[in-house]
Amino acid sequence: MKKVVVIGPESTGKSTLCEQLADYYKTSWVPEYAREYLTVNGMNYTFDDLLTIAKGQVALEDSYIGKAKDASLLFIDTDQYVMKVWGEFVFGKCHQWTLDQITKRKYDLYLLCNIDLPWAYDVLREYPNPGPRKDLYNIYRNIMLNQSVPWVEISGNYDERFQKAIKAVNDLFAP
């Protein structure tokens, strides 16, 4: 099974893109566990909550891998890099467990969503201003530049993003 992770700052179309790609390739996608957690527990999260969320994301991802073992592709909305960035951006530190997972978990392609979509209000989102959005995007881009998994920047309107993502997946995984 090939695993494609969609990452980037909030409100950059990650979930939408995962859902579109899963529909297009007739497979599954793993939602972002943090949305479920924060909906239930509220936005007054602590540093230790991030560890709970990180573990929940891994468990959710593993459950989808187990259910989709016959699938050739799985799309994943966020991974442990997102947890690393979140912890460091908000609290100035990251749990060692998260760092360990980054080295253990293997993926085949990253799709990095740019901030060129307008920010859309959502009660779970924290950074509507362009400054932090740009800072976060640059952090993600630097991570992508300094790791070994192939990655593609996804930008443009929703249809352009979808087409770029299809091309990236087809280019990498074509027989």
Q: List, in sequence order, every beta strand (DSSP E) within 78-150.
A: 109-113
**Do the bridges between strand 28-30 and strand 109-113 make them parallel or antiparallel, or are there none, so unpaired?**
unpaired
Tell me the residue type at 84. Answer: K
What pLDDT, in 10s, does the model give residues 114-157?
Answer: 999 987 766 666 666 778 899 999 999 999 999 999 999 999 99
What is the set of domains in the chain, with CATH numbers? Answer: 2-170 (3.40.50.300)
Is the distance from CB of 125 to CB of 164 less than 8 angstroms?
no
According to DSSP, the residues that pair with 76 across neighbouring strands are: 5, 30
Q: What is the model's pLDDT at position 65?
A: 93
Q: Which two tokens stand for residue 46?
A: 């602590």
Indicate left, alpha or beta for 28 from its phi (over 0: left) and psi (-120 to 50: alpha): beta
Give dist(CA 67, CA 65) in Å, integer.
6
What pLDDT, in 10s, does the model give residues 1-26?
Answer: 999 999 999 889 999 999 999 999 99
Q: What is the model's pLDDT at position 123?
A: 60
What pLDDT, in 10s, does the model give residues 33-59?
Answer: 999 999 999 899 999 999 999 999 999
Q: Which two tokens stand for residue 175?
A: 């027989």
Neighbours of 103 (CB within 10 A): 8
Q: How far is CA 58 from CA 31, 101, 106, in A?
A: 11, 9, 12
Give dist(CA 153, CA 112) in Å, integer.
5
